[in-house]
């Protein structure tokens, strides 16, 4: 059953990375069903074998068979030059890029005590640097056309932590920071930037999720949230958690804060007043780092009569 007016994606062009299977495929198919022209990007499976070409080609073929427009482009998102070439091919074919969904990813799970730095670098390179490469490639074109929608794929591991995923959690948390900054920089240019925190049964989570609930955690149950976040009326600087048909907004908040006079700024006083300092009954959502600075300065000014 449909509710309200149907979202209009007419004439839009999207690049979806890691779209040969799982979440990326679900996003690509859902966009194509709404008339979006889709670049299906993929490189390979989490194991590293080169299955991405046939997987991406199959998804693109599915889209075309259903009457949509799509082409597959095989490139590694950690290769900035190759990503630029993908963007160039997209512009040559369709003249614009309206939507970028940064979905490509890998897992290399191991406890922090045992993990090798090579696996840390690999995961950070794919998730964080790969998203930076792709966003950097399309950004000037979105600025020029005065319209753009960028979706980062973060994770509950980056928001809340998860045992054995220090590399993955760090990369996914980094994507939230990237989203926060780009949402501010893109606001006046017609570019909205959001993050999706999905939990789904995909090729990256095989063997990690109880078989009994795999049927609920489908990539297709998440795609509607992704489409909303790249729609014309999308919010910006928003984290949407999604899984099994459940959608929730996650926020970074802080307590109202407590001003300590200069003569009373000791670790002992922080400990004594910790209940007040950590009181989240009236949380504050901060628009930017500078807004936080201004708020702290205003609190100090109120207490002292002069900003320190």
pLDDT confidence bin for 214, thresholds 50/70/90:
confident
Instruction: From 7, 5, 29, 205, select the one nearest 101 (Cα to Cα).
Output: 29
**Tens of pLDDT, residues 156-206:** 999 999 999 999 999 999 999 999 999 999 999 999 999 999 987 655 555
Q: How far apart are CA 178 and CA 129, in angstroms?
A: 10
Catalytic residues: 168
Bridge partners of 191? Answer: 148
Question: Is the model's pLDDT at 1 over the cut of 90?
Answer: no
pLDDT tens figures, 138-155: 999 999 999 999 999 999
pTM: 0.92
**8 A C-beta contact, residue 21 and residue 96:** no
Element housing 71 (H / E): strand 70-74
Average of per-residue pLDDT across 211-238: 92
pLDDT of 4: 56
CB 195 within 8 A of CB 181: no
143 to 15, 58, 238, 302: CA distances (angstroms): 16, 32, 20, 41
Question: What would the pLDDT profile of 28-82 be if each residue is shown by its tens digit?
Answer: 999 999 999 999 999 854 433 344 458 999 999 999 999 999 999 999 999 999 9
């Amino acid at each position: 059953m449909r509710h309200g007016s149907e979202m209009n994606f007419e004439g839009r062009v999207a690049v979806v990375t890691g779209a040969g299977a799982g979440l990326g495929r679900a996003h690509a198919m859902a966009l194509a069903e709404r008339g979006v022209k889709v670049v299906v990007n993929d490189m390979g499976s989490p194991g590293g074998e080169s299955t991405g070409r046939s997987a991406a080609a199959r998804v693109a073929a599915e889209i075309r068979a259903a009457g949509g427009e799509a082409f597959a482009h095989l490139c590694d998102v950690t290769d900035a030059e190759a990503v630029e070439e993908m963007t160039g091919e997209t512009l040559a074919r369709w003249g614009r890029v309206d939507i970028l969904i940064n979905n490509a990813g890998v897992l290399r799970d191991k406890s922090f005590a045992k993990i090798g730095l090579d696996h840390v670098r690999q995961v950070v390179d794919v998730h964080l640097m790969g998203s930076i490469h792709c966003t950097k490639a399309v950004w000037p074109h979105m600025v020029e056309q005065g319209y753009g929608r960028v979706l980062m794929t973060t994770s509950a591991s980056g928001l809340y932590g998860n045992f054995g995923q220090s590399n993955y959690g760090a990369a996914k948390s980094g994507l939230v920071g990237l989203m926060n900054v780009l949402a501010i920089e893109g606001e006046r240019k017609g570019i909205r930037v959001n993050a999706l925190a999905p939990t789904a049964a995909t090729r990256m989570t095989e063997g990690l999720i109880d078989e009994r609930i795999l049927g609920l955690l489908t990539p297709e149950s998440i795609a509607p949230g992704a489409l909303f976040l790249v729609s014309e009326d999308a919010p910006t600087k928003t984290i949407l958690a999604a899984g099994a048909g459940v959608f929730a907004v996650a926020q970074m908040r802080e307590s109202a804060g407590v001003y300590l006079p200069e003569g009373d700024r000791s670790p002992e006083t922080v400990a004594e007043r910790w209940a007040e300092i950590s009181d989240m009954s009236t949380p504050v959502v901060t628009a930017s780092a500078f807004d936080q600075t201004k708020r702290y300065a205003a609190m100090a000014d109120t207490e002292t009569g002069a900003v320190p």
